[in-house]
Structure 1
Amino acid sequence: MRPVVPRRVAAPSSHLPKGTQSCPRPCGPRRHNRATVSTPQCSNSASSWCSARSSPCSTPPSSTSASRPSAATSAAPWPRCSGSAPATCSPSRWSPRSAAGPRSRHDVRTDRVPLAGLPGWERDARTIHQVHGRYFDVVAASVEAGSREVAHWTQPLFRPRGEGIAAMLTRRIDGVPHLLAHARREGGLRETVELSPTVMCTPDNYAGLAAHDRPPFLDLALRADPSRIRYEALHSEEGGRFLDATSRYLLIDADERQAPLEEPTGYRWVTPGQLSRFIQHGHCVNVQARTLAACLAAAELGDHG
């Protein structure tokens, strides 16, 4: 999945090549499709990095950790609606205020640490990367663009190792469409927890791990019956921060055996209307879940002519 962006990682203007200036906006260009991108030498003085530590869990989120990823670190308890089935939840009971529970139980703190003190990561002339080639690289980029307010700048870009997946499981419960949302905790989130797709990760990071160490529903998403896939497309991630980052977006119809009404901890069946209410409030639903919610609305419209 798209990697978590550690904070305060930037190319200091004092170390830029002569004759260039830093981008006035930290994100750089929105897209690089009209820009020439090259990779100059990394500055030797770029000696600090950021790590995320999460409490009460002792293991940091897998995307920001150099150790083996753990699917359990992203799960956050989620308040249950009243009634015998998710379809009986009323909008007044299932509102953005419900997010206060998971958010109040978790905290993510970002600290600056020396790059040399970050286990499993190293730097060469052009990148900062994980020693086993996993997770992502930080690439030094020199950008030239003819249609921007600044014609030339340098910046770091995050290049994922492998194609990501963002999959949302769907079901009709009492005739009403539902999505299985995940209350996901990540380093770098402003509000600690956001609603995300059922599965959101880079599958290559979990290759070879036992089933209990893999994210819930990952194998279902990777091996979904084509007849149950309502939407499938390869999306490019935001180009101002990520380089060559693509993810496979999926909407998958599931049944009771594959995705029971009794969800795992950190997951909840929500209606499109309930998810829409969360989207109206900032920092409640991540961009991948918003994208898939829009795709589901289009699919439902197509199903009804």
Structure 2
Amino acid sequence: IIKVEEDVEEHDDFRWMTLGQIKELMRYDNMVNMDTRTVLSGLKISDYLSLADDTSRLSVFGKDLLLSSVTNHCHSTISEHLSWLSSLKSRYDLKVHPFPLRKMTDWRVLAGEISREDGKYFKVVGVKVTISNREVSSWCQPLIQPMQQGICAFIIKKINGVYHFMVQAKLECGNFDVMELAPTVQCLTGNIPSSRSARPPFLDLVLESSGSQVLYDTLQSEEGGRFYHEQNRNMLVEVDDSFPLELPERYRWMTLGQIYQFLRFNNYLNIQSRSLIAALNYLS
């Protein structure tokens, strides 16, 4: 994020917007792209506003988020979170290496696409792109097309009056450092097991939430230069005091301020977490 003092020449495809306007647009499906959401996730309201300032324009939820971003009254310390994450990483040895496509028995090469025989997960499609407002007007490239929609959701809970986010340590094959901090729920929704015990933890709670529990619920697109029409349902769900503090081993309660501390360093929070953090609206 670069702050400029001088006038900047405008172009037809560019427009000045306030941060509030961009966050308002995030309430609508697929309006703000993934790169913008990622960049804005690093903007902390506590860098510009404190609890001692005039917060009358903030909503009640916004004031609670501000408190969560500045408070020292945390369920666990940053040192405890780092120790927890390091301990989990030490248990896994992630090895990823190239494998010839011709040896993949569950995949098939068809005209214009490479896909799984069972139709699950995703396929790779070849596309020709023609566009008028880019440096190059036409090109060909592969894109990854998902076969089902995903869901990304944070569960939040007030602990001693302070909002905490339930963060998941998630192992994915493309991670730089084995595990990254992910939303409480991050999964595909097209192949949910019929048995509740086989489903991802907390998925049913999120899907069955309603009314005032649901603080945010929109569809957000993924990076359009690599993925074809991929969108995930982004949600923020609040639970009450009856929800237990004790969590499964791969989950932790973190304040918003602690999440922002992890955002300062490379490869801690994954893209899905950053997208949800960017959508937090303090005004309404």
TM score, norm. by length of structure 1: 0.65
The number of aligned residues is 213
Aligned to 1:34: none
Instruction: Give the one of 194, 204, 228 matched to 2:190.
Output: 204
Provide the rounded CA distance (Å) in 1 between the counterparts of 2:261 and 2:181.
12
- Does the residue aligned with 2:95 lie in a helix, a strand or coil? strand
Residue in 2 that maps onto 1:112: 98
Report the counterpart of residue 264 of structure 1 in structure 2.
248
Q: Distance in 2 between matches of 1:232 and 1:184?
A: 22
Corresponding residue for 1:295? 279
Where do 5+ consecutive residues of structure 1 fail to align? 1-30, 32-85
CA shift, 1:236, in A, is 1.0
Unaligned ranges ≥5, structure 2: 1-32, 34-72
Deviations, residues 91-141 of structure 1 (Å, cap 9, x unaligned): 4x2465653332232232222222232242212111111212211111111
Percent identity between matched residues is: 36
Shift of 1:167: 0.6
Counterpart secondary structure, 2:279: helix
For residue 273 of structure 1, the aligned residue among 257, 263, 272 is 257
Determine if the alignment matches structure 1 residue 186 to structure 2 residue 172: yes
Q: Provide, for residues 163-204 of structure 1, a one-character-per-residue CA deviation record: whole Å limited to 9, x for no partner.
A: 211110000000010000000000111112110101111111
Q: 1:134 to 1:146 in 2, by over 3 A?
A: same
Provide the rounded CA distance (Å) in 2 between the counterparts of 1:173 and 1:302. Answer: 22
State how far apart, in whole Å, the 1-side matches of 2:141 and 2:80 are.
Answer: 42
- Quote how far apart the aligned CAs of 1:213 are: 1.8
1:122-161 → structure 2 map (5 Å cutoff): 122-161=108-147
Give CA deviations for 1:141-176 in whole Å, capped at 9, x if unaligned.
Answer: 122233333332222111111221111000000001
Q: Equivalent of 2:159, from 167, 173, 184?
A: 173
Match among 74, 79, 97 for residue 87 of structure 1: 74
In structure 1, the residue matched to 2:24 is: none
**What RMSD over aligned residues (CA atoms) do the two structures have, in Å?**
2.1
CA contact (8 A) 1:162 1:202 kept: yes
Tell me which residue corresponds to 2:211.
Answer: 226
Q: Cα–Cα, structure 1 residues 131 and 255, in superposed 2: closer, same or farther, change >3 Å?
A: farther
Measured in 1, the distance between the counterparts of 2:241 and 2:169 equals 21
Distance 1:106 1:155 in 2: 35
Query: Which of the numbers 214, 235, 240 marks the counterpart of 1:255?
Result: 240
Equivalent residues of 1:120, 1:130 under 8 A apart: yes
Name the CA distance, whole Å, in 1 between partners of 2:105 and 2:246. Answer: 39
Q: Conserved in 2, the CA contact under 8 Å of 1:95 and 1:278?
A: no
- Where 2:215 maps in the other structure, the secondary structure is strand
Match of 1:212, as an amino acid? S
Task: Give the whole-Å Cα distance in 2 for the aligned partners of 1:175 and 1:283.
Answer: 30
Which gives a bigger RCO, structure 1 or 2 (Cα 8 Å, sep 6+)? 2
CA distance, structure 2, for counterparts of residue 213 and residue 158 of structure 1: 27
- The letter for the 2-side match of 1:285 is L
Q: After alignment, is 284-293 or 109-118 more displaced?
A: 109-118
Superposition deviation, residue 290 in structure 1: 1.4
